[in-house]
Structure 1
Amino acid sequence: MDLHHVKAFLAVAEELHFGRAAARLHIAQPPLSRTIQQLERHLGSPLFDRTTRRVSLTPQGEALVPAAYDIVRAFDAAERAVAHAGEGAVGTVSIGFAGPSSHPLISALAQRVRQDQPGIELALSSTTYGSEAIGQLADGTLDMAIVRWDATPPGMCSRVVRVDHFVIVVPESHPLAGRESVGMEELVDESWVFLEAASGSSLRDTAMRKAEQAGFTPRVVQQGPDTWTLMALVAAGVGLTLTVDTAFRNVITTGLSVIPLEGGREDALARLIWRAETTPAVDRVLDLSEIALPTPEGYAGP
């Protein structure tokens, strides 16, 4: 049994007339009859009751109809997949990101891809921080990632997709709560909570760097696996943390106070990063990212 048998069967099943079915298939009626007979011999069952006046489906023929449609649809889907694969219309693109600040970006991109390229599946990795993401891009585990990174790594390309600003998060009962801003040098005696060192978080590295510039090493009293845990630790009074304003907007804020960090409101750049060598599917997603995640004005450079 092959596809032309199945299509011949469906034509007769829909028309219930061999002459009309043959005309629809652009063949003569005798070859169509032979095709149906071959299919019946292969299946070992009659598919049609034939008389001089009418053609009707047997119970076996009625049972074959849904499966025959499935076969034709599957074959058509396979043809489309092969035809469009080289154009990037189908495939899987793996994207790494981490933290609540990335969720609106991923949501916007996923919505656009689903709308414009439903044949492309996004494989999302939601706990992939800075240096880990760069490593997975380099070894091919990821196709692209949204991270905070100061510059584009060798062999990769990047584009700024959002500009954030650094903030300090304290318990709402803390003496600093409600301040319009705070300098890093004022936090020398504070306890800190950060993401685990092995996470590769760029925010942890930024906090360490800013503390060093202010003349001290942060006293880290607790580490957590994700931003939600850090916020819970801060709300419990365990310590302070440094994050970005967009992260704070996307978590529960009960018991917390956010204070902009002084220092000229240094920009924290969220970048979409990908390997220089891409696939057609990745190229399609990158094109759509220009619409879903436009580069902020003034940040078009690398």
Structure 2
Amino acid sequence: MNWQEQETFLVLAEELHFGRAAERLAVSRARVSQMIHTVERRIGAPLFERTSRRVSLTPLGIQLRDALAPHHHGILAALARAADSAGAAEVLRAGFTHPLGSEMLMSAATMFRAERPACTVELREVQLSDRFGQLRRRELDLVFLEYPAVEPDLVSGPVLLRDAKVLVVPTSHPLATRTSVSVADLADETLLTARGLAGYFLDHHFPTHTPAGRPIHRSMTMPYWQEVMVQVAAGNGIALAAAQAGHFYPRPSLVYLPFDDLPPIEYGLVWRASGLSPAGTAFVRTVTETAPSTMPDSVDREAITQPEPPPG
């Protein structure tokens, strides 16, 4: 198997979905299918069972995955260590899905570069509709995003901050004059959010029913957060957001209302399970250590807090 065939097989073995595997690999679905067929012909037996509803590994496919994955990831890690040992200038690429994350990463990057002047830190915005795409395409080394991030090929670091949930409504909405809201107030409303979010993430953050059992509808048709805000302002629905949204995205046509009965949003760093370079590991440590001191003073610190350090 050449390198591309190895990567295609391992990605499909994780995703068990040709479309998602193609997205991660930035190739067509037909190309994924073609490479898998090539490998299966070479081996002489199927590696995947395919039906109209699901894709699963055959026993031979499981055997190959378990034998191949450690070597594939080990080669990637070895290359990263070799580059670091060679003393070459390294570029770390960090992504963020939320504006406070960009502020915290910028502050950490300034401190990090003072200690490692040969290392450059580049920051890029990551859209909610494609939270892991740039990471999986190796365009980013890590991403500062909303938890949960339960992905078999990724690693989640510790929670670095918590931000209260708020409800975003247009000024014309009946709830706009309230000082706070509860899940019960969402009965028969339509919650707007970005498309492409995993089911487990939606279920964690977006209730589907009130405590009394009344439905709360979801609409996931927009790729970008700013488009969600425009649709809310136009009266086409309401949205759940983090409290920082009211600070970084103020609009005269929107009102941000705190929830009385929803837990806060937790944030942290995520990177590939194949590992970080030594410089990447050091940067994660810098972000973790500086997180409590890098929030802008203008942000509401009662709504946004860092987790308590572990005992001991």
Give the TM-score, by structure 1 length.
0.59
Query: How far is the alpha carbon of 1:217 from its aligned partner?
Result: 4.4
Secondary structure of the 1:106 match is helix
Residue in 2 that maps onto 1:173: 172
Query: How far is the alpha carbon of 1:289 from its aligned partner?
Result: 1.3
**Which residue identity does 2:146 align to in structure 1?**
R
Query: How far is the alpha carbon of 1:300 from its aligned partner?
Result: 4.0
Secondary structure of the 1:293 match is helix
Name the CA distance, whole Å, in 1 between partners of 2:110 and 2:186: 41
Name the CA distance, whole Å, in 1 between partners of 2:126 and 2:199: 10
Query: How far is the alpha carbon of 1:125 from its aligned partner?
Result: 3.4
Query: How far is the alpha carbon of 1:270 from its aligned partner?
Result: 0.6
Q: Number of aligned residue pairs: give it.
A: 216
Name the CA distance, whole Å, in 2 between partners of 1:201 and 1:254: 32
Contact 2:156 2:268 in 1 (8 A): no
**Which residue identity does 1:296 align to in structure 2?**
Q
Provide closer, same or farther for how the CA distance between residues 114 and 233 of structure 1 changes in structure 2, counting only shifts above 3 A: farther
Residue in 2 that maps onto 1:238: 236
In structure 2, which of residues 216, 227, 232 is the aligned counterpart of residue 218 of structure 1? 216
**Which residue identity does 1:267 align to in structure 2?**
P
Larger Rg: 1
Residue in 2 that maps onto 1:69: none
Provide closer, same or farther for how the CA distance between residues 213 and 251 of structure 1 changes in structure 2, counting only shifts above 3 A: same
Residue in 2 that maps onto 1:279: 277
Task: Indicate the percent of aligned positions where both proteins have the same amino acid.
Answer: 26
Name the CA distance, whole Å, in 2 between partners of 1:278 and 1:119: 17
1:39-75 deviation per Cα after TM superposition (whole angstroms, max 9, x unaligned): xxxxxxxxxxxxxxxxxxxxxxxxxxxxxxxxxxxxx
**Which residue identity does 1:119 align to in structure 2?**
A
Query: How far is the alpha carbon of 1:203 from its aligned partner?
Result: 6.6
Query: How far is the alpha carbon of 1:259 from its aligned partner?
Result: 1.0
Contact 1:97 1:147 in 2 (8 A): yes
Residue in 1 that maps onto 2:265: 268
Contact 1:88 1:280 in 2 (8 A): no
**Which residue identity does 1:236 align to in structure 2?**
A
Give the TM-score, by structure 2 length.
0.57
Query: How far is the alpha carbon of 1:224 from its aligned partner?
Result: 2.4
Contact 2:95 2:140 in 1 (8 A): yes
Residue in 1 that maps onto 2:300: none
**Which residue identity does 2:141 align to in structure 1?**
D
Residue in 2 that maps onto 1:125: 124
Name the CA distance, whole Å, in 2 between partners of 1:300 and 1:246: 25
- More moved, 246-255 vs 135-144: 135-144
Secondary structure of the 2:176 match is coil
Contact 1:171 1:235 in 2 (8 A): yes
Query: How far is the alpha carbon of 1:238 from its aligned partner?
Result: 1.8
Residue in 1 that maps onto 2:159: 160
- More moved, 86-95 vs 249-258: 86-95
Is there any run of 5+ residues in structure 2 with no aligned partner, and where? 1-81, 293-304
CA RMSD of aligned residues (A): 3.5
1:296 equivalenced with 2:306 (yes/no): yes
Is there any run of 5+ residues in structure 1 with no aligned partner, and where? 1-82
Query: How far is the alpha carbon of 1:129 from its aligned partner?
Result: 3.5
The residue correspondences of 1:186-205 to structure 2 (distance < 5 A) are 186-196=185-195, 198-200=196-198, 204-205=202-203
